[in-house]
Amino acid sequence: MERRVTRERADEATDARRRVPRTDAVLGDPRLAEAVRRLGPGVVKTAVRQAQQRARDGTIPPEQVRDTALALLPPTVGGLRPVINATGVLLHTNLGRAPLSPAARRAVQEAAGAADVELDLPTGVRARRGRTALAALCGRVPSAGAAHVVNNGAAALVLAATALAAGKDIVISRGEMVEIGDGFRLPDLLVSTGARLREVGTTNRTTAADYAAAIGPDTGFVLKVHPSNFRITGFTRAAGTGELAALGVPVVVDIGSGLLAPHPLLPEEPDAQGQLAAGAALVTASGDKLLGGPQCGLLLGAEPVVRTVSRHPLARALRVDKLTLAALEATLTGPDTPTAAALAADPAGLMRRAEQLASALGAHGIDVRAVGSAATVGGGGAPGVTLPSAALSLPEPYAAALRTGPVPVVGRLEAGRCLLDLRAVPPRDDERLAEAVRAAAGR
Ligand SMILES: *Cc1c(COP(=O)(O)O)cnc(C)c1O
């Protein structure tokens, strides 16, 4: 009796395997044919093979191969996976720093085809690359006579050092010899250009007189680097840009985070307008930190200095593409960036969102609480500043389940709990976040 049942089951399984549709038959489905045009044949065939395998295993009936293959298709080919940043670190380097605004994303999409990047359409004559983005940048920083854009903040510094100080001295405080992350050190980067570093002062104290004593005929410029990822406190002293500008040599200031004007919540963070007004000849910064734009490096300053830098042969090797120019211009001229919104978010509002999410998820039997949290700017900006925030607190195993779910969510572990901090999560993502938590609870 038992043996007969086993044989019947085996026969059924063989029958199901025989009924698994062949690949070309599955690909004849108009929905999958459309997917081949959109995603390419390789991706679609892989999904079909996976679906056929499930039918052979008996996980799905053979009639469901087409629908299963469709469900297995990725939304786009290749590329990086979008994630929800619930770390509470606004500019998370591992998550690509600043998220682009919807306006900047649309601008990137538009520029992705052929675009007037170096052509003046009314006259049909070749035009300066990035002219509208550069004009927008100068428009936001009235004390800048001109601007130039390169691939990132480090490239801006390399270009400045090469064009203004190769074979000469860069005078820099010992308190500002910074490692920017992943083992890269600004002093090494500067020396790689052929400039010499003239270190002055001490780790905690450097005065204008220290700089003055080191300045001579070999000086290319004085460099001030904003200690953007650490703080020295206690018995400290640093010379201001105004004092240094009075020494008679160009002062270059690497402000790091790309604030164009002072930010009321970040009074310690230097801004381009303020530094140029104080007498800096050139300011360098990143586009994807507090500016909230695409990865790029900004150089702002007096027109002759910017011209020297932008006409140097190395500038050609560091130039940005049209996608970056489009995103930068939209960031500068469009509505507030997600970074600005996250910085300005009201803690009481964040707590209300956390409580709403916690009560909705609690109703599904999930062990979740709304808790107060402390967010940070991150990404090399405003070290030591904490921003009051609110989070969902979940059992620790949620961290891995959320990271590997269909919509990956990256939170942070604190005291044995997985915290999902809402400050860097745009409110319109709350529903997706809740869905991801429900999916993680079920796995
Ligand atoms: C981040 C940073 C850099 C490097 O900028 P990237 O855009 O990451 O290349 C250089 N200097 C300072 C002070 C920074 O904060």
The per-residue DSSP string of 386-428 comes to EEEEEEEEEETTHHHHHHTSSS-EE-EEETTEEEEE-TTS-GG
If one residue of 176, 226, 229, 254 were mutated to test the ligand 1 pocket, choosing by the most ligand atoms within 8 A of its CB, it would be: 254
Which one of 309, 334, 359 terminates a domain?
Answer: 334
pLDDT score, position 80: 87
Is 91 strand, coil or helix? coil
Residue environment code for 138-167, b if the CB has 16+ CB neighbours within 10 A, otherwise e: bebbebbbbbbbbbbbbbbbbbbbbbbbee
The Cα 81–Cα 377 span in angstroms is: 23
* Contact between residue 390 and residue 354 where contact means Cβ atoms under 8 Å apart: yes
Q: At what angle do helices 131-140 and 322-333 cross, to 10 degrees?
A: 30
299 Cβ below 6 A of ligand 1: no
Does a structural domain hold residue 79? no
Which residue's CA is minimally distant from atom 5 of ligand 1?
153
**Nearest Cα to Cα of residue 382 among 339, 330, 331, 426:** 339
Give the mean pLDDT of 263-291: 96
Same domain as 171, residue 290: yes
* Contact between residue 297 and residue 158 where contact means Cβ atoms under 8 Å apart: no
Same domain as 116, residue 28: no
Does a structural domain hold residue 326? yes
Does a structural domain hold residue 6? no
pLDDT score, position 9: 64
Same domain as 316, residue 346: no
DSSP label at residue 279: T
pLDDT score, position 89: 97
Residue-wise pLDDT for 14-73, tens only, equals 777 889 999 999 999 999 999 999 999 999 999 999 999 999 999 999 999 999 999 999
pLDDT score, position 77: 80
Residue-wise pLDDT for 350-382, tens only, equals 999 999 999 999 999 999 999 999 999 997 788
Which one of 334, 356, 387 terminates a domain?
Answer: 334
Does a structural domain hold residue 410? yes
Same domain as 141, residue 90: no
Instruction: Give how far Cα 329 sits from Cα of 133, 196, 300, Å.
Output: 5, 35, 15
- Å from CA of 101 to ligand 1 middle: 21
Residues in the chain: 443
Is 0.75 topped by the overall pTM? yes
Same domain as 150, residue 30: no
Residue-wise pLDDT for 31-47, tens only, equals 999 999 999 999 999 99
- Å from CA of 270 to ligand 1 middle: 13
Has residue 310 got a pLDDT over 70? yes
The Cα 11–Cα 15 span in angstroms is: 6
Q: Residue 11's CB: how many other CB atoms inside 10 A?
A: 10
The Cα 375–Cα 372 span in angstroms is: 10
Does a structural domain hold residue 288? yes
Does a structural domain hold residue 5? no
φ, ψ for residue 101 (rounded to 5)?
Answer: -70, 160
pLDDT score, position 14: 74
Does a structural domain hold residue 136? yes
The Cα 343–Cα 419 span in angstroms is: 19
C-alpha of 122 from chain center: 36
Same domain as 360, residue 316: no
- Å from CA of 186 to ligand 1 middle: 9
- Å from CA of 347 to ligand 1 middle: 29
Which residue's CA is minimally distant from atom 11 of ligand 1?
256
The Cα 49–Cα 44 span in angstroms is: 9
User: What is the total count of domains within the chain?
Assistant: 3
Question: Locate tokens 């010379």: which residue?
Answer: 239
The Cα 90–Cα 421 span in angstroms is: 10
The Cα 140–Cα 411 span in angstroms is: 35
pLDDT score, position 182: 81
Q: At what angle do helices 41-57 and 65-72 cross, to 10 degrees?
A: 130
CATH number at residue 413: 3.90.1150.180
pLDDT score, position 223: 98
- Please give the residue range of the domain that contains residue 114: 102-334
254 Cβ below 6 A of ligand 1: yes
Same domain as 399, residue 304: no
Q: In what order do the strands lie in the sheet with 412-414?
A: 369-376, 386-395, 417-421, 412-414
Does a structural domain hold residue 231? yes
Give the mean pLDDT of 276-286: 98
The Cα 210–Cα 199 span in angstroms is: 9
Percent of all residues in the chain with a pLDDT value above 70, rounded to a whole number: 97
DSSP label at residue 273: H
Same domain as 193, residue 136: yes
The Cα 389–Cα 89 span in angstroms is: 11
Has residue 118 got a pLDDT over 60? yes
Same domain as 301, residue 195: yes
Residue-wise pLDDT for 124-161, tens only, equals 999 999 999 999 999 999 999 999 999 999 999 999 99
The Cα 216–Cα 169 span in angstroms is: 9
Q: Is the dihedral of CA 132, 134, 139, 145 positive or negative?
A: negative
pLDDT score, position 232: 85
CATH number at residue 167: 3.40.640.10
Has residue 443 got a pLDDT over 80? no
Same domain as 300, residue 177: yes
Same domain as 250, residue 117: yes
* Contact between residue 418 and residue 399 where contact means Cβ atoms under 8 Å apart: yes
Same domain as 230, residue 318: yes
